[in-house]
Structure 1
Amino acid sequence: MNVAGLVGLVLAHFLVGLTAAQGGCSRMVTRRDIMTLSQQEWSQTASVLQRMQNDGWFRIFAEIHNREFNNIHGNDNFFPWHRRFLRDFEEIGQRYDPNFAVPYWDELRDSRNPAGSPVLSSRLMGGNGFGGCVRDGLQQGWTMSFPGPHCLVRRYDRGGQMQSWYSPEYIFSTMQRYNDMHGLRENIEFTLHGSVHLGMGGDMSALYSSNDFVFFLHHANLDRLWAQWQSWGHQWTMDGRNHFGASIGLTSALPHYGDQVGSTMQLGVNRMCFRYAGTGSRRRSESSLALVSTPPGSNGETRAQEGLQNLPLPILQKWFPALVNSSRDRAPVSAAVAPKANTTRSTIDTEQPAGHFLVYPAPLTNEWVNMHRFDRQKVANTMEEAREFVDALNRAGYKSPY
């Protein structure tokens, strides 16, 4: 082949690749809250997962996550890499059923009492291990083959219970206060990410945590939160550094896959052929706590929103900057809650909004910090900030509907 022909062939290959890279998806799937799946839909999902286990795919994904662990945690590859990893898993599942989509667990809704979540019932994922081994739910009786043959292990961090995780309000605050990838990533990885892994224990607290399908439910939710944050004007926000300290940008290569970081940034483009139910679907969604986590009850969304917007202005300015403008015209809190002089005590109690004071979330353990090679002082500062947040809202009389 002459030089001109070779150049033409290379150029044609480049243009085809560029077109494919920039093209949209011919078919999309919707990732939904696992609690919204019908019994038939869950049975179809479970059937795909069983076949993937039988064919060795859980082992392959556990090996990948184990091998790349230090490249994808404690640095700003965290969000784009796990999005690519989940999509890889989902694409494999679609070989068995083209409608397969990874569900997500709205774990913030269950943060007060994680062990009591219906997601961990025998109908869905099963609960704590007996002697370590999971004996009910999706993966009962499974033998995991990485790093060697063993039952799937779960050991809740408080024996038969789990410590509380981070509240929807705290994660909502984090998403409003950090406009850079590095800040968002640290403050999600040090909090919600770690507390769920540690709470579940067993395989979920190991380098090969993807043995447990709860891993995929958990990371789908983290990815959903990232997608929501992206819709607030951060679609292409990518900064920070990788495991070696080098800057990460949109053209940086993802560990293991080699794809550019930018190829993961937009849903519905490249291989990211999925969407999340409800994400970014409402006007001014950065002011809607319900888009971060679905509140319980028929009027839960209204209660959640009004409760935050009635916080004193200094608290909103510090913790919920996106709510400040929407709350400027509200009545003073003291006037809104002050009882009439002739109101009886029982009437006062029934007029107070139902809910719960916030509780301190579970801190990261020293073993977890060491395993991830986190900056110990940064973790300590984040833990202190989370406690300060709880104290501030409780002093203001805020009651969470979750």
Structure 2
Amino acid sequence: MIILRICTIFFAQLFVHLTHAQGGCSRIVTRRDITSLSPQEWNQVSSVLRRMNDDGWFRYFADIHNREFGNIHGNDHFFPFHRRFLLDFEEIGQRYDPNFAVPYWDELRDSRNPAASPVLSSRFIGGNSFGQCLREGLQSGWTMTYPNGHCLTRNYDRGNQMQPWYSPEYIYSVMQRFGDMHGFREAIEFSLHGSVHLGMGGDMAAMYSSNDFAFMLHHANLDRLWNEWQSWGHSMTMDGRDRGGSSIGLGSQLPHYGDDVGSTMRLGVNRMCFRYQGGTNKRRANALSMVAMPSGSNSSDADTNLGKLPLTMLQKWFPQVAHEAASLGSTNSSSARGSMASGPAFGRALVYPAPLSNEWVSMHKFDQRKVAEIMKDARDFVDEMNRVNYLSPF
């Protein structure tokens, strides 16, 4: 019976694929912040996910991710492959409910204390299981069948807490300083991407990490950040190399799927029939609110505090803000405007993010030198921002 149901959905998916290949999007779904979903909306999402797992689809995706692991990490297929992978998951979910869309987890909002995130509450996906079976949230009581029969586990990297992730300010800086896909991909993959997987542990820290629905929430957020970066003049930016060292361009074929990389580059066209809540913000000087929108915080506070940074700091870490502020005539002509101590007393000092573990670096066959370079960059950013008394509202 399960095999019959999977075959039925497979051929339905083939029809959807052919339809999209022949034209554009007849309908576009919106991927929303998971915390914005009402209980009824989350129940609808949960129902689809449970049925997908019962029919073997979580096994299907874990198998793909595990088999293609070396082809989709540590090289520049990372972003386009995962966009296509999430779309595959979403389209299959739409066979159960045509309104199904993968939510995203705005992890930057929770970067200071990830374990306290409402996403990890029993209302949504549940929290730590200390390496044992997850007992709360969406996947409580589920049997995962890849690579063998087991219950889903999580094992936070600091006991009942997690080490801090990367701040909205740092990721915002990365998005401004890297104009090529290769540099942008490395700076994200070697920072936020890894810290979330490692922080949660359990299945999320394995090569078959898509067993945990946190994977989909996480990669939807990374894709959202990539989409925001693309809207800043990088809509068709694709460069770098694949696992074998060959150059990647828009005509390169994605691992497993075989689609052209170029077919994934723009949302709302070709097969990419989705968008993100809030759209994109093309005015980079005020775009920090697009990177993280924390509940109970005024994201414009971060823009206000960034505007008080010494000009030399803006030029180094936020070159687009410096350029656009200068074009608006709102920067001080001095090379440094001094401490921010006299500014509004809101927010807290930045903290160091968690480094990638040696085991994680080895599992992915990352360039250890490059990983260390990104980690040093992130720590230098924290040091310099704290030195001028920058206070983060996040």
TM-score (norm 2): 0.91
Provide closer, same or farther for how the CA distance between residues 325 and 295 of structure 1 changes in structure 2, counting only shifts above 3 A.
farther
Structure 1: runs of 5 or more not aligned: 1-16, 340-350
The correspondence for 1:393, drawn from 372, 385, 390, is 385
Partner Cα separation in structure 2 for residue 55 and residue 18 of structure 1 = 23
Q: Which has the larger radius of gyration?
A: 1
Residues 5-58 of structure 1, C-alpha deviations (whole Å, 9 max, x = no match): xxxxxxxxxxxx999547320011000000100110000000000000110100
Q: Which residue of 1 aligns with 2:150?
A: 150
**Deviation string for 1:172-231 (max 9, x for gaps)?**
000000000000000000000000000000000000000000000000000000000000
What amino acid maps onto 1:322 in structure 2? Q
SS at match of 1:241: coil
Q: Residues of 1 paired with 2:341 and 2:158: CA distance?
A: 41
Tell me: CA distance 1:336–1:129, structure 2 relative to 1, closer, same or farther (3 Å): closer
Q: C-alpha separation between the residues in 2 aligned to 1:379 and 1:99?
A: 40
Which residue number corresponds to residue 381 of structure 1? 373
Residue in 2 that maps onto 1:221:
221
**What SS class does the counterpart of residue 147 from structure 2 fall into?**
coil
Contact 1:181-1:238 within 8 A present in 2 as well: yes
Matches within 5 A, 1:180-259: 180-259=180-259
Tell me, yes or no, if structure 1 residue 352 matches structure 2 residue 344.
yes
Instruction: Give the length in aligned residue pairs.
Output: 373
- Pick one of 306, 309, 322 that aligns with 1:308: 306
Does the Cα contact within 8 Å between 2:108 and 2:166 map onto a contact in 1?
yes
Match of 1:284 in 2: 283
Judging changes above 3 Å, is the alpha-carbon distance between structure 1 residues 337 and 365 closer, same or farther for their aligned structure 2 residues? closer
In structure 1, give the amino acid aligned to 2:178: Y
Deviation of the 1:337 alpha carbon: 5.7
Q: Could you report, residue by residue, the CA deviation over 1:279-318 in whole angstroms, capped at 9, with x for unpaired residues?
A: 31x45146410011113436x1221110111100011001
CA distance in structure 1 between the aligned counterparts of 2:131 and 2:341, rounded to whole angstroms: 54
User: What is the deviation of 1:376?
Assistant: 0.5
Deviation at 1:324, TM superposition (A): 0.6
Per the alignment, residue 321 of structure 2 pairs with: 323
For the 8 Å contact 2:131–2:154, the answer to whether it is kept is no
The equivalent position to 1:371 in structure 2, one of 359, 363, 373, is: 363
Distance across 2 between alignment mates of 1:210 and 1:255: 17
SS in 2 for 1:275: strand
Give 1:40's aligned residue: 40
Give me the whole-angstrom Cα distance separating, in 1, the residues matched to 2:111 and 2:44.
28
Q: 1:88 matched to which residue of 2?
A: 88
In 2, the alpha carbon distance for the partners of 1:353 and 1:269 equals 45
The 1:258/1:355 distance shift into structure 2, 3 A limit, reads: same
For 1:266, the equivalent position in structure 2 comes to 266
- Please report how far the alpha carbon of residue 133 of structure 1 lies from its aligned counterpart in structure 2 after TM superposition: 1.6
Structure 1 contact 65–207 (Cα < 8 Å) conserved: yes
Would the alpha carbon gap of residues 92 and 338 (structure 1) be closer, same or farther in structure 2, given more than 3 Å must change? Answer: closer
C-alpha distance in structure 1 between counterparts of 2:43 and 2:175, whole Å: 34
CA contact (8 A) 2:28 2:275 kept: yes
In structure 2, distance between residues paired with 1:263 and 1:334: 46
Answering whether residue 112 of structure 2 is matched by residue 120 of structure 1, we say no
TM-score, normalised by the number of residues in structure 1:
0.89
Q: Give 1:55's aligned residue.
A: 55
Q: 1:398 to 1:148 in 2, by over 3 A?
A: same
Larger deviation, residues 238-247 vs 21-30 = 21-30
Counterpart of 1:208 in structure 2: which amino acid? Y
Asked if the contact 1:124–1:138 (Cα under 8 Å) also holds between the matched residues in 2, the reply is yes
Q: Is the 8 A contact 1:264 1:272 kept in 2?
A: yes
Counterpart for residue 13 of structure 1: none
On the 8 A contact 1:287/1:322 being kept in 2, the answer is no
Residues 53-85 of structure 1: CA distance to partner in whole angstroms, max 9, x if unpaired?
A: 110100000000000000000000000000000
For the aligned residue pairs, the C-alpha RMSD in angstroms reads 1.9
Is the CA contact (8 Å cut-off) linking 2:71 and 2:243 kept in structure 1?
Answer: yes
Q: Unaligned regions of 5+ residues in structure 2, if any?
A: 1-16
Name the amino acid aligned to 2:206: A
Shift of 1:353: 2.5
Contact 2:131-2:202 within 8 A present in 1 as well = no
- Whether contact under 8 Å (2:68, 2:256) holds in the other structure is yes
Cα distance, 1:22–1:303 mapped onto 2, change above 3 Å: farther
Letter in 2 for 1:279: G
Structure 2: how far apart are the matches of 1:230 and 1:337? 32
Q: Following the alignment from structure 2 to structure 1, what is the Cα–Cα distance between the partners of residues 139 and 282? A: 40
Give the Cα separation in 2 of the matches to 1:184 and 1:210. Answer: 23
Task: Tell me how far 1:354 sits from its aligned partner.
Answer: 1.0
Q: In 1, distance between residues paired with 2:141 and 2:359?
A: 29
